[in-house]
Amino acid sequence: MVGEPPGTALVTGAAGGIGSAVVRLLVERGFAVAALDVDGDGVADLAARLAARGHRVRGYAVDVADADAVEAAVAAAESDLGALAAAVNVAGVLRWGPVTAFSDRQWREVFDVNTLGVFHVCRAAARAMVPRQSGSIVTVGSDAGAVPRAAMAAYAASKAAAAHFTLSLGLELAPHGIRCNVVSPGATDTAMQRALWDREPAPATQPAESAEPAAPAPGARAEPATAPGADPRAFRVAVPLGRIAQPDDVAESVAFLISPAARHITLHDLRVDGGASLGA
């Protein structure tokens, strides 16, 4: 790599399909990476495999809904790896079902991770970046934050809130040379997305398993929105480009937005959905 290393990047949700793709790409681009995930074993395994290849990666078991744990992780990452140059919010969960059957607990689970977690990470990262007057923050959201989804009201609302928060934060941090952007994928080919395709619809009062934040159930134009189970071949007809995203498609978008090539881009929401949201 030519020139100075790009610095340290912190990535949440790092043990998942999209998060791990982001971590792998960033270490290949020369970043030292602090990989955070509530799955401590998963993130430790990822970090060990990448470290064995000569990359600088540390895994941290962190629940982003825990503000103190996030602050401690940012401090540890800077101590272990160096000054934070970028923070990428990938951690997220999906709970689905009609609003009339949705529980308070399910709603809190979604917002605790997808929205409150983003606030915790962004606040901690900004506190580290402001004194240095530089940095980049990217939140991986979802096109569901802009296109309504029946049976996904909590997920869609949480992603819309996280995206608007990130862009509003960008206004505050722009005078300090810190850029804040959003990447909003559509359905993405992760193991969790495929599990949603393969499973039978669960009772509306039961939470679905945690999902990649950018891998929501099929869009409203493809399948009945009350059930996430669907054949992916059927869903592709709703995507103008004729395929769903791969995790690397999302990772490349994140890597671009935190790179010097995007130095004049902030307050932007980049859709990575093959045109499924029709520019909404």
1 lies in some domain: no
Answer whether residue 280 is part of any domain. Answer: no
As beta bridge partners, residue 59 has 35
Rounded CA-CA distance 250/12 in Å is 14
Residue 229 — very low, low, confident or very high, per pLDDT cuts 50/70/90? very low
User: Which of these is catalytic: 119, 155, 197, 235?
Assistant: 155
pLDDT, tens digit (0-9, with 9 covering 90-100), for 45-97? 999 999 999 999 999 999 999 999 999 999 999 999 999 999 999 999 998 89
Q: Residue 76 is part of a domain; what is its CATH number? A: 3.40.50.720
> Distance of CA 27 to CAs 23, 35, 46, 56, 126, Å?
6, 11, 12, 7, 22
Considering the domain boundaries, does residue 3 fall inside one? no
* 279 within some domain: no
Q: Is residue 277 part of a domain?
A: no
What is the pLDDT confidence band of residue 38, given thresholds at 50, 70 and 90?
A: very high
155 among known catalytic residues: yes
Domain that holds residue 108: 8-272
**What does pTM read for this prediction?**
0.86
Residue 132 inside a domain? The answer is: yes
Say if 38 falls within a structural domain: yes
The per-residue pLDDT for range 87-142, each reduced to its tens digit, is: 999 999 998 899 999 999 999 999 999 999 999 999 999 999 999 999 999 999 99
Give the chain's domain count.
Answer: 1
Q: Does some domain include residue 107?
A: yes
